[in-house]
Structure 1
Amino acid sequence: MLDVKDYGIEMWDETKIADFRRTLLSWYDREKRDLPWRRTQDPYAIWVSEIMLQQTQVVTVIPYYERFLEWFPTIQDLAQAPEEKLLKAWEGLGYYSRVRNMQTAAQQVMSDFQGQFPNTYSGISSLKGIGPYTAGAIASIAFNLPEPAVDGNVMRVMARLFEVNYDIGDPKNRKIFQAIMEIVIDPDRPGDFNQALMDLGTDIESAKNPRPDESPIRAFCAAYLHGTYDKYPIKEPKKKPRPVQLQAFVIRNHQGEFLLEKNTKGRLLGGFWSFPIMETDFLAQQLDLFSEENTPLEIKSQKQVFEQGYQLQPVWTDRLFKPVKHTFSHQKWTIELTEGLVEQTSLSNQHELAWVKEEDFPNYPLASPQKKMIQQYLDTH
């Protein structure tokens, strides 16, 4: 096991560790948030909540969590769910690989664990999309196993408690915080201990505007006692998301229906429906415009590329729309809208396309950028 002393961390003695556990858990018993997933020991429900809570605030998650369990009350229901319904249940939460991995993991439970959620850390960790943090959370909360659940909140609290001089954003340093937690975790109430640190890290010990004077564990906190609180945790700034310019085509037929395209799997937002969209810098998409003799053909405008690719001849309008902006963790989209009207209703079979009435939009899984495009179009129309 990793020795934390090798990383300049002075660990407490057993008496102080026991005192810390009592102090933290007494505060949690008084102040813990009443959350729906804390009213159950069902590992499936706890798993759903933990996956949803990744990169998403609690207040946003609650209605999604309740609806998800209503639609898919058992692991078998999740394993057998149609993709459209699965994505609809997750619509708006983002990071859609999470729910795809959940379905794969549910299928693993059905095939490898006879439909019973595994009750060991190694079994839980073997499931698709479950990393060390989530495995620790499920193991400790659902099965009372003394497994740490080390996420950004916990690392932040530990960094301040022990003045850890290692970047919490560097994945290779996670083992340091894992080792600390393995020492201090309460063996009798590991789930409550982990959740107490989660609550503390999201509120009093938050990344922005923490309130150290209100912390129930301030008497144990080296950074608080030494006046170095502002230094911790150490974290290098994230890379800014790459700007991406896109063009979306808002195409309507004579019946007032909109053209929607289903994004292919493997692409960002795969499986979701949206207006046809392409990057403004679309030269790479035109490589097929070079002849076999390697003679470049005339580079076409975006509208021409659309007409050729979708086998439609819209009458383009001159209506102007405010650009739609949406930021992912790694990309920052700016989407320009172009409107076109067509008489024909036949569609190319080279894309998965559908004519959809405005009132039927809720029946299709639509990601946040598409919802913003629809709203911008309707506000301008």
Structure 2
Amino acid sequence: MYKIETFSHNLLDWFHNNKRSMPWRETNDPYKIWLSEVMLQQTQVVTVKGYYNRFIERFPTMTSLVAADEDEVLKYWEGLGYYSRVRNFQAGVREVQEQYGGVVPKDGDAFLSLKGVGPYTRGAVMSIAYNLKYPAVDGNVYRVFSRLDDDATDIAKSTARKHFEAKVMAVMPDAAGDFNEALMELGATVCTPKNPICMLCPVQDHCEAFAEGTVLQRPVKVKKLKRKSYRYKVLLIVNDQGELLIVQRPTSGLLGGMWQFPVVDEEASLADIEELLHMNLYQEAELFHTVTHKFTHLDWLLDVYLYRTTDSATGDYHFIAREEKENYTFPVSMTKIYEHYLKTGS
């Protein structure tokens, strides 16, 4: 077991001298800190910085975000992925405006009840913005404490969070926010998954895995089942004006509410597609392009087919000119298809 009396001191001293410069570390505004934590979920810091600055420039306050149309908010998130994060964030901010007079509540349970807020986000925002003692256990913290105690607990189990939250709370000093940030910083820059820099670790003397030579075996995470792959046809349909046919995805579910080129089952025939779209199509080539897009839990294999038509769009489908594309929020996979289309000069 690491030495509780010196552990936090060593860690905080290292953090204050080595922490990376980040825009969300220059504010105590809980709204901005909350935003940064939402953006940082499953996204690298280097990517988030630019998005964070642009988002804050456009939506500097909770009031400005609540007043914005969802389509515009999604546009400022475009490229970050996992779009339910920003939908939930806007909904949570709206709840703060309506229920708490526009002030992020300092009560941890009240904050946890907001849309999209989980235990990690609560811990991060409550501790960093208000210096309240809440644990913020993410992948970095799992890894750090698994190594400190040479702990073989399977972090994929549902009980792991409570187990590691208790470890964090047992050594948390009064400087709760700095402590949580220091743990995450240590995991991100020194106690890394594959090539940890143990010789530069400020808490190496406390680390049982280092002493036992088991650093690379921690944390333990039982592998999940094999990822699933789904193959679809993407229909790039161009009319006489050079406009492209698009349709909006359902508001719930994967990539909810975003726009895309029509997507059909890989087995759909030309007759099936014409019946679905109520238009006559003329196929340009056997296969125009292919794109693979990886989500957290599954893969999309997209075969793109290029068609021409002289018919008008019906139902939920409509044509847009190339210059109108920026007015719509497209998933990364569809943007890749669009960019390939532009390069071919079709």
Tell me the CA shift for residue 260 of structure 1. Answer: 1.1
Aligned to 2:195: 209
Q: How does 1:1-381 map to 2 (within 5 A)?
A: 10=1, 16-187=3-174, 189-281=175-267, 301-318=268-285, 320-344=287-311, 346-349=312-315, 351=316, 353-380=317-344, 381=346
* Partner Cα distance (1:368, 1:306) in 2: 24
CA deviation after TM superposition for structure 1 residue 159, in Å: 0.4
In structure 1, distance between residues paired with 2:73 and 2:23: 21
One-letter code of the match for 2:293? Answer: H
Contact kept, 8 Å, 2:288 with 2:306, in 1: the verdict is no
Q: Cα RMSD (Å) of the superposition?
A: 1.4
Q: After TM superposition, what 4+ stretches of structure 1 lie above 3 angstroms from structure 2?
A: none
Give 5+ residue unaligned stretches, structure 2: none
Letter in 2 for 1:215: C
- Aligned AA (1:203): T
Query: Distance between the aligned counterparts of 1:304 and 1:86, measured in 2?
Result: 38
* Number of residue pairs aligned between Structure 1 and Structure 2: 345
Distance in 1 (CA, whole Å) between partners of 2:30 and 2:207 is: 33
Check whether the contact 2:228–2:299 (CA below 8 A) recurs between aligned residues.
yes
Q: Residue 4 of structure 1 aligns with which residue?
A: none
Q: Is the 8 A contact 1:121 1:135 kept in 2?
A: yes
Gaps of 5+ in 1: 1-9, 282-300
C-alpha distance in structure 2 between counterparts of 1:212 and 1:322, whole Å:
46
Per-residue CA distance 1:89-148 (angstroms, 9 max, x = gap) = 111111111111111111111111111111121121111111111100001100011111
The DSSP-based 3-state class of the residue aligned with 1:338 is: strand
**Range with bigger deviation, 56-65 or 263-272:** 263-272
Deviations 1:202-236 (A, max 9, x none): 12111122222221111100111122212211111
TM-score (norm 2): 0.96
In 1, the alpha carbon distance for the partners of 2:303 and 2:265 equals 10
Partner-residue secondary structure (3-state), 1:323: strand
Distance 1:212 1:66 in 2: 33
Q: Compare CA radii of gyration and give the structure with the larger one.
A: 1
Percent sequence identity over aligned pairs = 41
* TM-score (ref. length: structure 1): 0.87
Local SS of the residue matching 1:168: coil
Does the aligned pair in 1 maintain the 2:193–2:216 contact within 8 Å? no
Q: Secondary structure, in 3 states, of the residue corresponding to 1:171?
A: coil
Equivalent pair of 1:246/1:335 in contact (CA under 8 Å): yes
